[in-house]
Amino acid sequence: MAEIVIMPKQGLQMAEGTIMEWLVNEGEEVTEGSPLFEMETDKLTITIDAGSNGTLLKILRGPGDVVPITEPIAIIGEKGEDYSALLNSMGAPPVAENVESENETADEVTVESIKAEAVKVPRTGKVFASPRAKMLAEEKGIDYADVDGSGPEGLIIEKDVLEYAANPIQKTAATPLARKVAELENIDINNIQGSGARNKVLAEDVRASLSAGQTPVQTDVTQLDEELIPIKGMRKIVAERMKTSLSEMAQANHRITVDMTNSVSLREQFKAMGTKVSYNDIVLRCAAKALTEFPMMNSSWTEKGIILKKYVNIGMAVAIDQGLIVPVIKNIHLKSLDAIAKESSELASKAKENRLQPEDYTRGTFTVSNLGMFDIDGFTAIINPPEAGILAVGKLAKKPVVINDEIVIRMMMQLSLTYDHRTVDGAPAAQFLKRIKELLENPMLLI
């Protein structure tokens, strides 16, 4: 019996995913647990396995499609099985109706080079729409033939009608080619009088307006010497979360300079014993201890109250090709420095190889971000909601400092703490940062 494959939810905050590649072609057999497709979330690219045995009968969403969680993306069943009833149950069977169209092709548009553009599937003599889309269009008095479909093979779905109704730019009836000509020539199609049936704008009308001297409008459409990079996947989610973080939190910042000379010696001792420990591992261990002493820094703000976390899970920001991801070391306050070093190395490797699982990057209570390896002296990081703070770590460098009225060379490093002032006041935040400094300058206090 045929069954629907949906966009899976990989993480509590995931709302949508981008299909990167189908690893099986339509008509090929799949087995339960075998790789089916690759998807990109806000966190990483992951391979999704088939949930059952059968044949991949139909791919509903292709590579590059951004799909909300639980939305159908494919159908698996027995070879040759009729799955039309399953399509009907999804509320999106293709219903064909004859509607007026222009005998136009995209070949009529000549442009030397287009580096980036996003267009709907062009239609010829027929328009396909789901029953729900047709019913909604009728309720709103919209000719659904004017709506660009985003479903499989240009199918018009309910969402397309809603977007059409909400977007005043789409109120002007026009053929897909007319819209494309207007877009390429940077012309506002709403100012053009259509010559088609029911005043529909044709491509000829757009060209005529150009001949008449209509002035191109300033839009977000890229020029020929520019490239438009679609905002999607991890980049889109990171942007949304950072904007939300800055707009909803009262973020404040403290900075402090740390003498890392003793921490350098500690690292050398571990190295002599054959254990690889990074400076960031030492920072993580010190931050974990400080969080147990300053519980408000290990909390989250909610409308109902402040949630104090009795566990310490520190996220470590890792740069990957797709953007930034923050794998989390769980219960880090209970772990030794060498155990932290081992786990942080494993998580960083998994992140760069796209092998992280949702449990590897969720339930963080605090974050440490280190840009020292890029020769950055110091920086201000943005809090990862719903956490109360983030520690930014700069580079380690030899600096002249005054100790006992003498100028000496020491290994110095800058720390920057961004904290949510709704949850934590300035004084305790400063004390928390000072405590991390004390631990880094006297790492024997960790024992």
pLDDT tens figures, 200-234: 788 778 877 766 665 555 445 555 678 888 777 77
pLDDT at residue 322, as a whole number = 72
All CATH 2.40.50.100 domain ranges in the chain, comma separated: 3-89
C-alpha closest to that of 190 among 205, 76, 256, 46 = 205
Mean pLDDT of 336-345: 96
Residue 288 has pLDDT above 90, yes or no: yes
3-state secondary structure labels for all residues of 264-310: HHHHHHHHHCCCCCCHHHHHHHHHHHHHHHCHHHHEEEECCEEEECC
The answer to which of 142-156, 224-238, 294-308 has the lowest mean pLDDT is 142-156
**Residue 150 has what DSSP assignment?**
-
Q: What value does the mean pLDDT take over residues 1-7?
A: 85
Asked which of 183-197, 202-216, 328-342, 379-393 is least confident by mean pLDDT, the reply is 202-216
In angstroms, the CA 421 to CA 182 distance is 49
Query: pLDDT per residue over 314-332, tens digit each?
Result: 999 998 877 788 999 999 9
Biggest CA-to-CA distance, the chain:
91
Least confident of 175-184, 309-318, 433-442: 175-184
Per-residue pLDDT at 211: 66
Range of lowest pLDDT (28-37, 291-300, 414-423) = 28-37
CATH of domain 3-89: 2.40.50.100
With a cut of 70, say whether residue 407 has pLDDT above it. Answer: yes
Catalytic residues: 421, 425
Cis check: omega of the bond before 386, within 30 degrees of 0: yes
pLDDT of residue 118: 34
Higher pLDDT pick, 86 / 388: 388
Is 113's pLDDT higher than 90? no
The C-alpha angle 101, 107, 111, rounded to 5 degrees, equals 125
Give dist(CA 389, CA 301) in Å, integer. 11
At 40 the pLDDT is 81
Q: Mean of the pLDDT values across residues 57-82?
A: 88
Contacts of 184 (CB under 8 A, 6+ apart): 109, 111, 114
pLDDT value at residue 224: 64
Question: What pLDDT is attached to residue 319?
Answer: 87
Q: Which pLDDT belongs to residue 186?
A: 73
Q: Is the distance from CB of 201 to CB of 178 less than 8 angstroms?
A: yes
Higher per-residue pLDDT: 124 or 201: 201
Q: Mean pLDDT in the chain?
A: 83
Question: pLDDT, tens digit, for every residue of 252-276?
Answer: 999 999 999 999 999 999 999 999 9
Beta bridge partners of 411: 398
Instruction: Write down the CATH number for the domain with range 233-446.
Output: 3.30.559.10
- Tell the residue number behind the tokens 């600096």, with chain if given: 399
- Using CA atoms, how far apart are residues 308 and 90, in angstroms rounded to an integer? 43
Q: Supply 316's token pair.
A: 């470590």
Residue 120: predicted pLDDT = 40
Predicted confidence (pLDDT) per residue in 36-45, tens digit: 998 887 667 7
How confident is the model over 121-126, as a mean pLDDT? 44
pLDDT at 70 over 90: no
Most confident of 60-74, 130-144, 195-209: 60-74
Q: How confident is the model at residue 138 (pLDDT cuts 50, 70, 90)?
A: confident
Instruction: Output the pLDDT for position 45.
Output: 75
Q: What's the average model confidence in pLDDT over 355-373?
A: 93
The fold of the 100-211 domain, in CATH, is Dihydrolipoamide Transferase (4.10.320)
Question: Which one, of 423, 401, 425, lies nearest residue 411 by Cα?
Answer: 401
Please report the pLDDT score of residue 105 as a whole number: 39
pLDDT score at 269: 95
Q: pLDDT-derived band of residue 117, with 50, 70 and 90 as boundaries?
A: very low
DSSP state of 312: -
CA pair distance 321, 114, nearest whole angstrom: 25
Which residue ranges does the chain devote to CATH 4.10.320.10?
A: 100-211
Model confidence pLDDT, tens digit, residues 420-432? 999 999 999 999 9
pLDDT at position 12 is 63
Q: What percent of the chain has pLDDT over 70?
A: 82
- In the chain, % of residues over pLDDT 90: 47
| Ranges of CATH 3.30.559.10 domains, the chain | 233-446
Q: Say yes or no to pLDDT of 286 above 80.
A: yes
Looking only at the bridges linking them, the beta strands covering 366-370 and 314-316 are parallel
SS3 for 314? strand
**CB within 8 Å of 170: residues ≥ 6 apart:** 146, 147, 163, 164
At residue 123 the predicted structure's pLDDT band, cuts being 50, 70 and 90, is very low
Per-residue pLDDT, 172 = 64
